[in-house]
Structure formats: structure tokens, C-alpha cells
Amino acid sequence: MGILFTKRCVLCGEMLPAIGTGKAMLCPDCAAEVRQRYRCTEAIRIPGAADAAAALYYTGKVRNAMQRFKFQHKQQYAAWFAAQMLPLLAERLDTWRPDLVTYMPIGFLRLHERGYNQAELLAKAVAEPFTLPCRATLRKRAFTPKQSTQKDAVARQKNAERALLPLKSAEVRGKLVVLVDDIITTGATAAAAVKLLRDMGAARVYVLAAARTPGK
């Protein structure tokens, strides 16, 4: 029989034949491009975090794919982005020794519109292969201004700190926590989340992201 169904490359949208591709989510050209162009190789510093890592550069086809993941109901993209993050956690497992995986929250209205929190999908997909617990620990304060509207780095940091609150049910005291986010841009939001988790009693916090903005 011929092709019964098809799926599309996560990055370019080209059709992938069902036969012969297995679980592949990229066409051969995009797979090569990821290796050559999009792998994040730079060290990342997030204030307060014990360590931080991102899998990809947030540019070009990766940026477009992330936008579809977040804003066009492409929840299935979580599997591919998480697959890029898993080797980073595997490499660091012996040094990070995490007790818990958590994730950056989004606001209630955004969650209602989208139907999912992309960081939560990534966190669960990253935690599962290592049998690590994955739980919400933070929540977003209602009616917080967008980071993109802030005029400078100081304003972004203050806005980020005001935007996050602890979940009353969260228990992180003494734990080694991996905080998962989709994109690191300036790092202000991640730094605010790290500070709050440390204030809640986390022993150390590590940040793991799917992508980071180049040069940040």
C-alpha cells in the first residue's frame, strides 16, 4: 500500500512520508541545518541560578516553529523541542542531581486562550525519561504588563519580579530544582523565578530552556 498519512517537518513544514521516517519530525535538510546553525553552544548566565543551559538559538526556522508552538496550537511540537533539551539534562544529571522539575507559569487569560502552558508541556516531557517529579511551584500575577513594553533592563527585572508569586501548595525547601522555560531572551524573567524559588527555600535552582535569543 502507499502512504496512508503524512506529517510535516516541524521547522519547514514539508511533508514527511509515514513510511520510512519512524518518529522523525524533521526533514533531512532541516536536521542538517539544526546541527550546523541552531545548536546553542554558548554558556548562559542567569543571576541566582546555579547553572543554565538552552538547546537551540531562537532565530530563523527555530523561532518560527516556537511561535507556532506557542500561538498556533501546535502542542505536538513539545515532543521535538523537549527532545533537543533532553541531552542537556542527561549531560548534567550527575552534577545537578535534581529532585524536582518545575516550569515557568503563564497568566490565566493566556492559558484560557491557548489551552496549555508550553513550558509545562516541555517540563513534563523532559522529566518523564528520568522519572523526576514535575510540579507547578509558581503562578503568574494577574494583569502584569508584558516584558516587551518595559523600557530597559532595570524595568524588565522589576516587572518580572512583580509578575510571579509562589503557589501555596508548592514544597521546594531544601530541593535541587530544574526550572524549565521555552525561551530565554534577556533572562530577567528566569532570574526573577530563580530568586523566588530560592526565597521559597530551594537549595539550588537550575534553568533549562528550549531556546535562547542569540547574543543575550
Q: Note whether 89 and 176 are same-domain residues.
A: yes
Do 124 and 186 have their domain in common? yes
- 76-93 average pLDDT score: 97
Q: Domain with 135 in it: what CATH number?
A: 3.40.50.2020
Q: Specify the amino acid at residue 25.
A: M
> Which residue, among 27, 24, 19, has the nearest Cα to 3 in the 3D structure?
19
Q: What pTM was computed for the model?
A: 0.90
Enumerate the β-bridge partners of residue 168. Answer: none
Q: State the total domains in the chain.
A: 2
Q: Are residues 73 and 119 in the same domain?
A: yes
pLDDT at 3: 41
pLDDT at residue 2 tops 50: no
> Across the chain, what does the average pLDDT equal?
90
pLDDT tens digits, 20-54: 546 789 999 999 999 999 999 999 999 999 999 99
115 & 84 share domain: yes
Q: Which three cell numbers stand for residue 101?
A: 522539575
Shared-domain flag, residues 13 and 110: no
Pick from 216, 210, 159: nearest CA to 39: 210
**Residue 75 shares a structural domain with residue 24:** no
pLDDT score at 24: 82
Q: Domain check: are 79 and 171 in the same one?
A: yes
* Beta carbons of 209 and 182 less than 8 angstroms apart: yes
Mean pLDDT of 172-190: 96
107 and 2, same structural domain? no
Q: In percent, how much of the chain has pLDDT > 90?
A: 77
- Domain range for 26 is 1-38
pLDDT of the residue at 1: 37
Q: Is the pLDDT of residue 108 over 70?
A: yes
pLDDT score at 153: 60
Q: Do 20 and 100 belong together in one domain?
A: no
